[in-house]
Amino acid sequence: MPDPTVPPTPPVPLASLLAREDLALRQIAGPREPGLAVHWAHTSEMADPYPYLLGGELLLTAGVHIPEAAGEEAAGGGTSFDAYVSRIVAAGGAALGFGLAPVHDTVPRALVAACDAHGLPLLEVPPQTTFSGVARALWQLMAQARHAELRRVTEAQQSLASAASRPDPVPSVLRQLARRVGGRAVLYGPEGTEIAAAGREPGTEVGPALAELARVVRPGGRPVSATTPAPASATDTTGGIPLAAYALGAGRGFVLGVAAPRREPGDHTIASVAAVLLSLLTGEHRSGTEAARSSALVRLLLGAPPESVAPLLGAERWQVVHGRPEGQDPDEPAASALGAALGSPLVDLADGVVRVLVPDEREPLAQPGWALGVSDAVAPADWPAADTRAGRALARARATRTPLVRYGARPALADLVPPDAAEAHARTLLAPLDETLADTLRGWLSLHGGWDRTAVALGVHRNTVRQRIARCAALLGTDLDDPDVRMELWFALRQR
């Protein structure tokens, strides 16, 4: 699982930031390993920045808080910065950037010594480089990394789908998976034997460790307890090599094992697609209905439009149902149970919400302990729009504590305004705001103006939220305490 203290953005190697000639940054202390990465930039002049750091930051400071400490250094004190640097390290800070203007002309020697002692990379920021310029460069590098990773995942999905249609689909899928993750992919049978494999093994100890991890996720292989089933997937590391195992199908015992020299952000998505394809390819004899559903899934993975595969699913019009149990996140057994109760095996669990595709002839009913949002019945081409409407209905059901809400039971404001007119109004109204300000305003309004909750949701300090909202009010020239203004802005942000 990802570290919850690290924001969901691709990290940037510190070396990439140092390579930017326009910044002219120079590392003068601390480790120089190529694996050092930065997740974001944060500016603080606090004497103790620990309470304001989440981990992974490049902390930027001009040393406003340490003029006396610099004097102590000159007088012979060599440990005046130990406490400051140790607190940054304890908070998980990735690196420290020290600006040479406007307070200090040089980086204090005691700070250099403290960073070397505590293993914290220390960057010298020249006077011509602003902290905002460093932050902007970091976000640009993150955007480039995110785009590259999305392209890699998309290309991998397409190649895996094509491999599944070859005459030797299982070996082809394994070969493509091993190539895309740069490691080894193994298919284990119900008895734990290696059925097929592809790619080079990253280390001699990887084979036994991967087989053992596969046994963990295999149904009946090694249950966690008498009442807890084996997990659908698991990860581990041996000898510095990341491992992953995925149970295939509904308890048939096949397992996909993956080992790669390093674990990239998109590797789990790529391996999950391979696991779905291998589940279909290793399936036992299926009924006509199950075969039709599998055929529809494969065609969708190969790029077929939804309306062309809908006849295989047995209905012309469908309703999308979003469900969430009261007081907890749903798990896979709960998701399957909801699908069974609604009479549909087409169930998806993601981001704490269960989505079920229900044929129009079935009437979704309220389920004890669940909040449900139901879309109108639509043709397959309109599934994405129906999915959005079901999400809105679920939000209304949870807000009003109603077991089931159907979209369209009462007209919403958005239904009364033509979409093109609403979008034009939103563009004009929100034109002064950039993406960061617009996202902050959206989060703040959705949380009813709660500073602390908005700060937690956005992963920033509450003072940052206050500054951004004040900036929004100034740019928009309006009073954000006015409920009419808030309503109009919320409407525009939803259309944006």
Q: Which helix (H) or strand (E) holds 315?
A: none
Across the range 229-236, mean pLDDT stands at 74
**Residues 370, 324 contacting (CB under 8 angstroms):** yes
Mean pLDDT of the chain: 83
Give tens-digit pLDDT for 408-426: 755 556 655 666 777 888 8
Q: What is the pLDDT of residue 223?
A: 43
Amino acid symbol at 468: R
Residues 78 and 196 in one domain: no
Is residue 196 in some structural domain? yes
The b-or-e profile of 137-150 (16+ CB within 10 A means b, else e) is: bbeebbeebeeebe
- What is the residue whose two structure tokens read 């992963």? 459
Shared domain for 341 and 262, answered yes or no, is no
Co-location of 128 and 177 in the same domain = no
Picking from 395, 410, 425, the residue at the C-terminal end of a domain is: 410
Among 377, 410, 443, give the residue marking a domain's end.
410
The answer on pLDDT for 72 being more than 80 is: no
What are 16-33's pLDDT values in tens digits?
Answer: 999 999 999 999 999 998
Quote the pLDDT of residue 286: 45
Q: What is the CATH number of the domain that holds 273?
A: 3.30.450.30
- As given in the structure block, the two tokens for residue 196 are 């097929």
Q: Show which of 410, 434, 455 is a domain's final residue.
A: 410
Closest Cα partner for 215 from 170, 251, 245, 177? Answer: 245
Q: What is the mean pLDDT of residues 103-121?
A: 92
Domain that holds residue 219: 167-281
pLDDT of 400 reads 79
Q: Count Cα atoms within 13 angstroms, Cβ side, for 434.
A: 3
Give me the phi and psi of 192, to 5 degrees please: 90, 0
324 & 441 share domain:
no
- Residue of 367, 282, 283 whose CA lies nearest to 323: 367
Please indicate, yes or no, if residue 400 is contained in any of the structural domains: yes
Q: Does 148 fall in a domain?
A: no
Provide the percentage of residues in the chain whose pLDDT is more than 90: 29
Helical (H) or strand (E) element with 26? strand 26-29
For residues 32 and 258, give the distance between their C-alpha atoms in angstroms, rounded to a whole number. 30
Question: Which CATH number is 349's domain given?
Answer: 3.30.70
Question: Tens of pLDDT along 371-395?
Answer: 999 998 888 888 888 898 898 888 8
Q: How confident is the model at residue 248 (pLDDT cuts 50, 70, 90)?
A: confident
Give the residue carrying structure tokens 């019009």: 317
Residues 399 and 437 in one domain: no
The 10 Å Cβ neighbour count of residue 496 is: 15
Q: Is residue 301 part of a domain?
A: no
pLDDT value at residue 287: 46
Q: What is the pLDDT at residue 4?
A: 41
Say which DSSP state 378 is in. Answer: B
Residue 310 lies in a domain: no
In this predicted structure, what is the pLDDT of residue 97? 95
Quick check: is 307 in a domain? no
CATH code for the domain in which residue 476 is found: 1.10.10.2840
Q: How many domains does the chain have?
A: 4
- Over the stretch 308-353, which tens digit does the pLDDT of each residue have? 777 777 677 889 999 998 877 888 777 877 887 788 888 888 888 9
On whether both 77 and 117 belong to a single domain, the answer is: yes
Same domain (yes/no): 457, 365: no
| Distance in angstroms (rounded) separating the CA atoms of residues 158 and 172 | 13
Residue 131's domain is classified under what CATH number?
3.40.1390.20
Q: What is the pLDDT of residues 424-450, one digit of tens each?
A: 888 898 999 999 999 999 889 988 888
pTM of this structure: 0.44
d(C-alpha 134, C-alpha 17), whole Å: 8
Q: Are 60 and 103 contained in the same domain?
A: yes
Claim to verify: residue 245 and residue 363 sit in the same structural domain: no
CA–chain centroid gap for 149, Å, is 12
Whether residues 112 and 203 share a domain: the answer is no
Q: Rounded distance, CA 16 to CA 34, Å?
A: 10
**Residues 16, 89: one domain?**
yes
Do 398 and 447 sit in the same domain of this protein?
no
Q: Is residue 304 part of a domain?
A: no
Name the pLDDT band for 470 (thresholds 50, 70, 90): very high
| Structure confidence at residue 75 (pLDDT) | 38
Residue 249 lies in a domain: yes
Q: What is the dihedral of CA 162, 163, 164, 168, to 10 degrees?
A: 140
